[in-house]
Structure 1
Amino acid sequence: MMRSLVFLGAAFALSGAFAQMTPVGLWRSIDDKTGEAKAEIRIVDNGGVLTGRIEKSLKKDGKPTCEECRDERKGQAINGLEIIRGAKKAEGQDAWENGKILDPENGKEYTLRMAPVEGGQKLQVRGYIGPFFRTQTWVRVQ
């Protein structure tokens, strides 16, 4: 009986670890240049397609709206702004790609690749324009 309980406990612990190997959840974005927290972003799964919105801006000097945006998001409030669109799971990998990510500070949209690392506690977020890319590591908010 005790052995069964230990096995069940281990199975639940492992299932929790595997469940975390996804970008879905709440993340704190960390600026790759300054190391400061910029925002909390909630990523959700809509039928296999991931989207993400800024839940809360953490920048003290940040603008309240996206004035640099070039599409329908121009002038929208930063809090609630959709910055991730269309990311799908890469076949055979723990990565989501081919979506877009918006940098509301400059209004540019980048091709996106996201991959959970460190047991799903961090998220490697990479934005591409052609051969050039920028990578940030976001931290899961518990």
Structure 2
Amino acid sequence: MPFRTLSPEDVMAGGTRIMRAGLEGGKIVVAYGKPTLEKSANLAVQAANWSAENPILAACAVVGTTGATILAAPSLATAPVLSSLGFTMNGIQAGSAAATAHSWIGNIVAGSAMAIGQSAGAGGNGLVIVNGAAQLGGAVMTLGSAGIAWIKAQL
């Protein structure tokens, strides 16, 4: 397919069409955006009021949702934790907590927590163990908060 040479008029016409489309989009935002924003703000106020009136149930909702998220996608929790401890794709990061622990331990024994952390940080088999532990924690959070909410509802 040969390339077409554009004239300045073609470029101007295309720019004009884009600008008109942007103006039309702006009209849509003005027409529908304000009511949507107001409804969102009202919903946020209602949620805040309910949370203030029901702090235990609100905490259970937050903990349960967090647990369900970790259960479904454990790497959302484990990747930042591993990285912040110093377990990276390139090995243990100098000056990190993992480096300090490694200097205390010395040689790393296969199967130890340090070895699993190194493997998980590098994306190896240790990640299965770390993610599995996170998922177990997520399940406990979800079920525990549901149990507390149920007990609260019975009182």
TM-score normalised per structure 1: 0.27
Computing the radius of gyration over CA atoms, which structure comes out larger, 1 or 2?
2
**Higher relative contact order, structure no. (Cα contacts within 8 Å, ≥ 6 residues apart):** 2
| Greater per-residue strand proportion | 1
TM-score normalised per structure 2: 0.25
